[in-house]
């Protein structure tokens, strides 16, 4: 029977037909496409099979197939927005016209063919009002479109794009910090352009000529940023201050002198400031020549003989600060009174206050000598009786000394160490000798509160990030010291270790012998996971080619340490190809 089939005259035709059908079947179901898909599409499950063709090549066209997955492009078409909305309205182009497929995994879907030429040379953002001019014309695409979160399609969360040109808002604030008002003072292009940012087209003289002392003030001295509220009701209690900015432009304090400057005269002089002071004066001294005896009497001190012959500098020396030159009559220890007592009364203090308090009425009432009017506020000019000191009786510190039997006020010890024991057992003797306890502690505190202590300046160890929230006593523990021959228990501040290992456990279990330099990799002061590491320069294995896309954890795996804990292996790491890859010998290829 088989011999008869072979000798049949139509046998060659039947065999050839079967061979053609077999070959077609192998080609269709073997490859599934005229060429390999691009990298992004080849990762999508189902696209590589013969049934996967219909996901893109739909009956209504390949563009509709593309838009089934690419929702972001479909949105641009529907809303007539973005570059694709611009192309659709202007040209009505198909997806495949710019993004060709089946050229293999190495062929990018967005390429020079997509744009028609080199992007950097010809693409001028025709779909948005923001065109590239001036300094922006020197930027590359990656300067604006190379940062930010990686784009993911809603249906493909596991496939983030390596690069995307979507989502950049063409506003100055998108790329630049607003040094003026954190976005509250209007468009930047009202004063700046894209050519020379440091030379704004703004003339301050159109609003206020900056002359005299005004040319020395900073922007923030006059321009006050308004409060803003993050809630819709806008109530003032919900408003928050804006951050400190170097060039704040907001509402001005005002246009008259008293809207920016306090009244230094402390009384109402009855005239506008410009009647005595010119805006061109670099200092307020220029107004003194306009002060008449009638105006001076309003200060409470009438210029009568012999004061009528005294020059202004005789009582108000120009070389002193304003507060020293014109002290506030209501301040403690004020001495410039027209009354005197010393001509009639004996000085019971035997000259202790000569040159310090020349007028008796500064402490005593003109009507009764006791009680005195020298209280805590007045005492603050010599020694501030704040905190616990406010409850100490005067006679505790000011005692009667023999043989004169005069109560001592001047020369009374006022250093902490002269009345209080050292709770630090001599750890800060050098600082106490220089600045007393106030080197670290506030003099006006109710308790022994640490005040103006710059940890970095004083110890060389800057408290940044998480360290700023750490209690002092977490590092400065109790210990024993011998002070003046006695062993005492105190919190140890001096010679506190500053290296990481003194407080933190080595999570790398000794893989890095130079443990003192944790900051080489762990640069964030806020958290240990903030790492800056250049694999090319800080390791023996530069990452090149495909190795750059390999996740760190694929080579640096976790392993069980001898102490029972998990540790990530960083070194030593095998460097030979065969350690990670299956190498096929030449003989077996």
Q: What is the pLDDT of residue 147?
A: 67
CA distances from 416 to 400, 408, 410, 441 (A): 21, 19, 17, 11
Q: Which pLDDT band, with edges at 50, 70 and 90, does 16 fall under?
A: low
Of all residues in the chain, the percent with pLDDT exceeding 90 is 0
Q: Give the containing element (helix H, strand E) for 229.
A: strand 228-229
Q: What is the pLDDT of residue 10?
A: 58
Q: Give the containing element (helix H, strand E) for 407.
A: strand 406-407
Mean pLDDT, rounded, for 355-363:
77
In the predicted structure, residue 231 carries a pLDDT above the cut 70 = no
Strand partners, 406: 401
Per-domain residue ranges of the chain: 2-31, 32-141, 176-197+216-257, 276-311, 327-410, 416-491, 505-512+534-588
In the predicted structure, residue 264 carries a pLDDT above the cut 70 = yes
Q: How far apart are CA 183 and CA 177, in angstroms?
A: 9
Tell me the whole-structure pTM to 2 decimals.
0.37
102-118 pLDDT per residue, tens: 888 888 888 777 776 55
What is the average pLDDT score of the chain? 77
Nearest to 465 by CA among 519, 527, 413, 517: 527
- The SS3 call for residue 474 is helix
71-104 pLDDT per residue, tens: 888 888 888 888 888 877 656 678 888 888 888 8
Span of 56-70, 330-344, 545-559 with lowest mean pLDDT: 330-344
Which residue in this structure is represented by tokens 């206020």? 208
| Segments in 380-454 forming alpha helices (H) | 394-397, 429-435
Q: How far apart are CA 50 and CA 360, in angstroms?
A: 109
> What is the token pair recorded at 237?
């209690």
CA distances from 59 to 48, 65, 77, 93 (A): 19, 9, 20, 18
Chain centroid to CA 165: how far? 28
Q: What is the pLDDT of residue 243?
A: 66
Contact 37, 48 (CB under 8 A): yes
275-332 pLDDT per residue, tens: 777 776 666 766 777 788 888 888 777 776 766 777 788 778 888 888 888 878 777 8
Mean pLDDT, rounded, for 538-566:
86
Q: What is the pLDDT of residue 234?
A: 45
In the predicted structure, residue 233 carries a pLDDT above the cut 50 = no
In the predicted structure, residue 183 carries a pLDDT above the cut 80 = no
Q: Which pLDDT band, with edges at 50, 70 and 90, does 366 fall under?
A: low
């Amino acid at each position: 029977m088989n011999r008869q089939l072979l000798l049949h005259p139509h046998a060659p035709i039947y065999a050839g037909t079967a061979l053609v059908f077999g070959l077609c079947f192998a080609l269709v179901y073997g490859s599934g496409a005229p060429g390999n898909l691009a990298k992004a599409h080849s990762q999508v499950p189902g696209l590589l099979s013969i049934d996967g063709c219909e996901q893109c090549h739909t009956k209504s066209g390949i563009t509709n197939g593309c838009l089934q997955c690419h929702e972001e492009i479909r949105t641009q078409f529907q809303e007539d927005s973005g570059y694709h909305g611009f192309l659709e309205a202007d040209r009505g182009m198909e997806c495949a016209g710019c993004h060709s497929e089946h050229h293999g995994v190495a062929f990018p879907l967005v390429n020079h063919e997509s744009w028609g030429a080199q992007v950097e040379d010809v693409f001028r953002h025709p779909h948005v009002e923001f065109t590239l001019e001036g300094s922006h014309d020197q930027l590359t695409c990656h300067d604006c479109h190379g940062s930010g979160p990686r784009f993911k399609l809603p249906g493909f969360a596991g496939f983030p794009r390596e690069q995307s040109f979507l989502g950049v808002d063409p506003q100055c604030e998108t790329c630049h910090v607003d040094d003026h008002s954190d976005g509250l003072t209007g468009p930047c292009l009202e004063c700046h352009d894209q050519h020379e940012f440091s030379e704004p087209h703004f003339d301050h003289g159109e609003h206020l000529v900056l002359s005299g002392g005004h040319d020395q003030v900073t922007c923030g001295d006059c321009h006050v940023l308004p409060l803003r509220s993050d809630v819709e009701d806008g109530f003032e209690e919900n408003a928050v201050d804006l951050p400190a900015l170097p060039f704040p432009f907001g509402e001005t304090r005002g246009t008259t002198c008293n809207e920016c400057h306090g009244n230094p005269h402390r009384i109402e002089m009855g005239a506008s400031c410009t009647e005595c002071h010119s805006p061109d004066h670099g200092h307020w001294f220029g107004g003194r020549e306009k002060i008449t005896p009638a105006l001076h009497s309003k200060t409470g001190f009438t210029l009568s003989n012999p004061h009528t012959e005294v020059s202004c500098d005789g009582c108000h020396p120009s070389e002193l600060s304003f507060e020293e030159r014109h002290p506030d009559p209501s301040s403690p220890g004020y001495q410039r009174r027209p009354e005197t007592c010393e001509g009639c009364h004996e000085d019971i203090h035997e000259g202790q206050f000569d040159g310090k308090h020349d007028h008796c009425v500064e402490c005593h009432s003109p009507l009764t000598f006791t009680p005195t009017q020298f209280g805590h506020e007045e005492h603050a000019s010599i020694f501030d009786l704040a905190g616990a000191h406010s409850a100490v009786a005067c006679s505790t510190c000011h005692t009667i000394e023999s043989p004169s039997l005069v109560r001592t006020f001047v020369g009374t010890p006022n250093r902490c160490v002269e009345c209080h024991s050292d709770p630090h057992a001599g750890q800060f003797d050098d600082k106490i000798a220089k600045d007393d306890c106030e080197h670290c502690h506030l003099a006006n505190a109710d308790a022994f509160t640490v005040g103006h202590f710059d940890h970095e300046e004083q110890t060389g160890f800057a408290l940044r990030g998480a360290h700023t929230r750490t209690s002092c006593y977490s590092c400065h523990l109790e210990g024993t010291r011998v002070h003046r021959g006695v062993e005492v228990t105190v919190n140890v501040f001096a010679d506190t270790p500053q290296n990481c290992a003194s407080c933190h456990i080595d999570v790398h279990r000794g893989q890095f012998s130079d443990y003192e330099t944790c900051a080489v990799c762990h640069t964030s002061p806020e958290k240990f996971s903030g790492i800056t590491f250049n694999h090319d320069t800080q390791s023996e294995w530069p990452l090149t080619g495909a190795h750059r896309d390999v996740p760190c954890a694929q080579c640096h795996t976790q392993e069980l340490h001898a102490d029972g804990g998990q540790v990530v292996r960083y070194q030593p790491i095998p460097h030979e190809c065969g350690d990670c890859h299956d190498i096929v010998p030449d003989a077996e290829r």
